[in-house]
Each structure stands twice: as C-alpha cells, then as structure tokens.
C-alpha cells in the first residue's frame, strides 16, 4: 500500500500545482487580451481556484467513487472553517468586521442548509440537482458582477488578480502554464482518486473518508498558507471573506459538477456525522459574521481543537 500512498500524495501535489499554474496562465492571458480585472476575478480566479476540487469530483464520479466527491465538498468546508480560520486565529485574531460580509455569510449558510436538505430528503446529488446548483453559482457570479460594476456594494470575497499575475503581456510562460494546468489537473485527479479508492478498500473504510481527510486537507492547504501569512502580517480582514467565497463555490460549483458528471449518493455515516459537523461549523462562522465579532485566540483554539476532534472521531468511527 506504500506505492498507493506515494502516488496519492504525488497526485495531490500535481493537482494543486497544475491548478495554480492554470489560474496564473489564464489570468495573464486575460490581462493580455485587456479583459477587465473584475471579470477576471469573478470568473477565471473564482472558478480556477476551485479547479482541483472540480476535477477530483468529476474523476471520482466517473470512477464510481462518488463518496470521494461528496467527502471532498463536506471535508473542505469543515477544514476551511475550523482549520484554516482556527489555527491562524491563534496567531492573530481573524476580523469579521468587513463591509459586505454579512450578505455573503447569509448566502453560504443558506447554501449549506440547502445542501443538507438535499442530503437528507433526496439522499444524493442527482444530475437534475447538479443543474440547479450550477445555475445557482452562475447566477451568484452574475449578480456579484453586476453589483460590482454598479458600485452598489462592497465585495469581500473577490480575489486580488495581482496575486495570480506574473506580468502584463503575453509571454511563453503563459502558454506553458495553461498547457501544464490542462494536462496536470486531470492527471493529478486520476492519481488521487484511483489510489484513494485502493487505500480505502485496503483499510476497509468508506471512500468518503479519503475525501474528508486527505483530499479535503490537501486542497485546503493553499488557503491555510495564505491565511497564516495574512495573520503574521496582521492583515486578517480578508481571510473570512475568502473562506466564505471558497465554501460557496464548493457547495454550488463543485456540487453542481458532481451532479452533472453523473451524481453521487450520501452514505449513512455522512448523514449522521459529517454533514452535521459541516452545518454546525457553518452556523458557528455565521454567528461571528452576523455579530461582526472577531475570531480571537480562544475561539481559534476551540475551532482548531474541533477540527482535531473531527479527524480523531473519523478515525475512531472507522477503526
């Protein structure tokens, strides 16, 4: 099983690297074509940063491993809240006093509750539900775009295009980044899912565990690094906004693609444990947002401890 673990880790590295390069190449290409920064941020960057999760979901569903796709969505959202916000908050408080954040907090909470409703009432992300989720994320992006153009509201979840730009003109590196990204994303997803299924089978655990742990943790590492860097620079005011945006895209975009690729069913343990943890974590974040209360060191310790407890409980339930 050592080979499968090494290939799984290699797939994760390839997936994350390819996703980063594809976004950088696409952003540079868009800038060279004089596409407005707002459009780039709301489309290329927003969807591109979710590309690893999207490709994993497609590969998982096509490999009859839908549990990995759903585990990735649920586990990523839990990790984003409890781990990505919790651990950095121990270094420096995460500010929830951000203009425009409350509305997006309500959206991510509503999307989470709808996702949970689908899980308990339908039991699966079907192709029809996939269409509905996809339409929802497209409408969400269009509304943000219209409001941003009109200047009617501040948007705390937009990524800074400069972060993903390596220059102002079209260079050979731009084409290389795009090609590597296009090739690397499906390759990384294939290695990740294929070896994840083998490992789950060997250990006698449900496939969802691989999505909840290894894949969710791995795909959340870039966000964790970014938020820790922001905390060290005492610029944590952008952290919660980026996490809220990431979770919205996980639920609607990745969930939508999961349905469009063929669909996936929720397993009984997810309904009893994983989903309730995601809902409670989201509601906890919503309380901080609606009260505009900073996530301080004590709260960060509780959230980080909650994530460790979540992983430990998963290990216990499957021991």
Q: List, for residues 195-253, the tens digit of each pLDDT value.
A: 888 888 888 888 889 888 888 888 888 888 878 877 777 766 667 888 888 899 999 99
For the segment 100-126, the average pLDDT, to the nearest whole number, is 94
Average pLDDT for the chain: 85
Helix ranges restricted to H, the chain:
2-32, 37-40, 46-48, 51-62, 66-78, 86-91, 101-121, 127-150, 172-203, 207-210, 216-232, 239-249, 255-260, 268-269, 275-290, 297-317
Cβ atoms within 10 Å, residue 292: 12
* Per-residue pLDDT at 39: 65
With bands split at pLDDT 50, 70 and 90, how would you rate the model's confidence at 152? low
* Per-residue pLDDT at 167: 58
Q: Is the pTM of this model over 0.75?
A: yes
- Tell me 267's DSSP state: P
Pair 206, 318: CB distance under 8 Å:
yes
How many Å apart are CA 23 and CA 2, to the nearest integer? 32
Partners of 124 in the β-ladder: 265
* Per-residue pLDDT at 309: 95
C-alpha distances in Å from residue 172, one per residue of 24, 25, 100, 177: 13, 10, 39, 9
Closest CA to 277 of 125, 80, 95: 80
Range of weakest confidence among 27-36, 84-93, 254-263, 289-298: 27-36
295: phi then psi, degrees, rounded to nearest 5: -85, 100
Residue 120 reports pLDDT greater than 90: yes
For the segment 38-56, the average pLDDT, to the nearest whole number, is 74
Percent of the chain scoring above 70 in pLDDT = 88
Q: Dihedral of CA 85/88/91/96: which sign? A: negative
Residue 78 reports pLDDT greater than 90: yes
Cβ atoms within 10 Å, residue 69: 34
The enclosing H or E element of 125 equals strand 124-125
Residue 162 reports pLDDT greater than 60: no
Looking at per-residue pLDDT, the higher value among 82 and 95 belongs to 82
**Tokens 């500010």 sit at which residue?**
95
Give exposure, 203-234, as e/b (b: 16+ Cβ within 10 Å): eebbbbbbbbbbbbbbbbebbbebbbebbeee
* Per-residue pLDDT at 21: 84
Pair 208, 46: CB distance under 8 Å:
no
Percent of the chain scoring above 90 in pLDDT = 39
152: phi then psi, degrees, rounded to nearest 5: -85, -15
How many Å apart are CA 70 and CA 263, to the nearest integer? 10
For the segment 160-184, the average pLDDT, to the nearest whole number, is 73
* Per-residue pLDDT at 135: 97
Residue 192 reports pLDDT greater than 60: yes
């Amino acid at each position: 099983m050592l080979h499968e673990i090494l290939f799984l880790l290699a797939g994760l590295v390839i997936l994350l690297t390819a996703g980063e390069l594809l976004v950088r190449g696409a952003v540079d290409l868009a800038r060279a074509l004089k596409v407005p920064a707002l459009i780039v941020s709301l489309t290329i960057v927003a969807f591109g940063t979710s590309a690893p999760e999207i490709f994993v979901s497609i590969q998982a569903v096509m490999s009859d491993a839908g549990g990995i796709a759903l585990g990735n969505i649920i586990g990523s959202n839990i990790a984003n809240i409890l781990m990505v916000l919790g651990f950095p908050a121990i270094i420096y408080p995460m500010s929830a006093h951000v203009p425009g954040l409350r509305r997006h907090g309500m959206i991510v909470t509503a999307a989470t509750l709808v996702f949970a409703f689908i899980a308990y009432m339908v039991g699966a992300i079907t192709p029809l539900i996939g269409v509905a989720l996809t339409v929802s994320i497209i409408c969400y992006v269009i509304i943000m775009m219209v409001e941003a153009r009109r200047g009617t509201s501040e948007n705390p979840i937009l990524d800074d295009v400069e972060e993903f730009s390596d220059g102002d003109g079209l260079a050979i590196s731009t084409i290389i980044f795009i090609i590597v990204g296009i090739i690397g994303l499906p390759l990384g997803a294939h290695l990740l899912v294929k070896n994840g299924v083998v490992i789950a089978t060997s250990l006698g655990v449900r496939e969802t565990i691989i999505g909840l742990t290894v894949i969710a943790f791995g795909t959340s590492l870039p966000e964790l690094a970014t938020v820790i860097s922001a905390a060290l620079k005492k610029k944590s005011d952008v952290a919660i906004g980026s996490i809220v945006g990431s979770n919205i895209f996980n639920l609607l975009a990745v969930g939508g693609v999961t349905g469009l690729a063929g669909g996936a069913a929720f397993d009984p343990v997810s309904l009893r444990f994983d989903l309730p943890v995601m809902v409670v974590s989201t509601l906890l974040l919503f309380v901080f947002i609606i009260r505009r209360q900073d996530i301080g060191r004590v709260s960060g310790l509780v959230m980080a401890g909650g994530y460790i407890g979540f992983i430990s409980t998963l290990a216990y339930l499957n021991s």
